[in-house]
Amino acid sequence: MHQDEVFDIAICGAGLNGLAAALAFGGPGNRTPLKVALVDQRDPALATQAGFDGRASAITQAARRMFEAMGVWDAIAPHAEPMREIMVTDGQTDGPRPALLNFGVEHQPSGPSAYMVENRHLLAALYEAVRAVAQITFKTGHKVERFSFTGPQAELHLTSGQIVAARLCVAADGRHSQARQAAGIETIGWAYGQSGIVTTVSHDGPHGGRAEEHFLPSGPFAILPLPGNLSSLVWTEDQLEADRLMALDDEAFLAELKRRFGEHLGAVRLAAPRQAWPLGLFIAKSLTAPRLALLGDAAHVVHPIAGLGFNLGLRDAAALADAVMGQFRLGLDPGGPQALQAYERWRRLDTVMVAAATDGLNRLFSNDIEALRFIRDAGLSVVERIDPLKRFFMREAAGLSGHLPRLMTGEPA
């Protein structure tokens, strides 16, 4: 084993959250850039290929400001579709679906609450931005075989024989985080017995920037606008039904999809491979340990019902950058307990609140109980009639409420 240098930050995981965190710490959005190592067994360049990931992400207005501050929004913008309207229905797969709730531009006074972007375009923009930063070093192609979080620095022992040492290790390595497990941090939560089926479709008619959330008995069926006559689908089904649907050939699968999609956008065709993931709620019991901070899916996995998963990870990265830089600029240890405690306090409540909200929405709407249907439809109808309440919900959806980290206000970290 040999150690070349000591970094300020070692980020484990070079996916969307890891790349964004690297820019938050070492990129042009930081007034005092730190030395960052990005560690991943996989080459992140492979993830930018068209067939790698058919998913898309909602980028809130606060996340857009963060990307602007880090200098990547200009590369993302040509691939981003603003959500100009949001429609919510509560109905049956084959039955009528009257719109119970509509959010239009008049309820988004500061601009679109969110933009839809395919993940491959996000990855490409973040990857190219990271590559251009001298302060950030890729350590890819080798697996971490052992972590050490004792002493004045964290150490990541790679299978290549190299040791990547840093004053703070940031775990951005997903829901099965190897770094989190090495630190002995447990998670709490449960599986929903549901799968999220994701694909992209093309359609003859224009969507006009309208996002649709159809609450069906098996779970939400979301139609989310992408540039051109394309839409991203996030389709929740019971696990057994999802397995059946995924086993169908393309023609039969498309027939099932059309039953739920409807005919309002004309003829519909599959435009990307379909993928499915088991859904659940999982939160780390602690977001930190000595020399370690968790962010993104390593810290929390929530239901995609509100499209907030990636945005939670971005808020984690921005808050951690604030906490760490506050210590660093005072000449103190950026990976010490003061920075980690500040991050834990800042992110814990928001994480729990979002998890509880998405869990409650999924349980409330993923059923066909008549009494619950009456209550939720009545509640949606009340919201529909009160414009100030709708504007409040749009501000929440835009990620503009609460105490925002600097990057999410458009300021450098």
pLDDT digits (tens, 9 = 90+) for 202-259: 999 999 999 999 888 888 899 999 999 999 999 999 999 999 999 999 999 999 999 9
Specify the amino acid at residue 345: R
Please state, in angstroms and rounded to a whole number, the distance separating the CA atoms of residues 342 and 336.
10
Q: How high is the pLDDT of residue 255?
A: 96
- Could you list the residue range(s) of the whole structural domain that residue 299 is in? 2-409
Residue 198 main-chain phi, psi, to 5 deg? -125, 135
Determine the 3-state secondary structure of 328 from DSSP.
helix
pLDDT band at 396 (very low <50, low <70, confident <90, very high): confident
Domain at 372, CATH number: 3.50.50.60
Residues in the chain, overall count: 413
Total domains in the chain come to 1
Q: How high is the pLDDT of residue 52?
A: 56
pLDDT digits (tens, 9 = 90+) for 86-128: 888 877 666 666 777 777 766 666 778 899 999 999 999 999 9
Q: How high is the pLDDT of residue 392?
A: 63
Q: Is the pLDDT of residue 50 over 60?
A: no
Please state, in angstroms and rounded to a whole number, the distance separating the CA atoms of residues 72 and 128.
9
Q: Is the pLDDT of residue 306 over 80?
A: no
Q: How high is the pLDDT of residue 90?
A: 79
Nearest Cα to Cα of residue 6 among 150, 163, 166: 166
pLDDT digits (tens, 9 = 90+) for 349-370: 989 988 888 887 787 777 777 7
Answer left, alpha or beta for residue 209, where phi above 0 means left and psi between -120 and 50 means alpha.
Answer: left
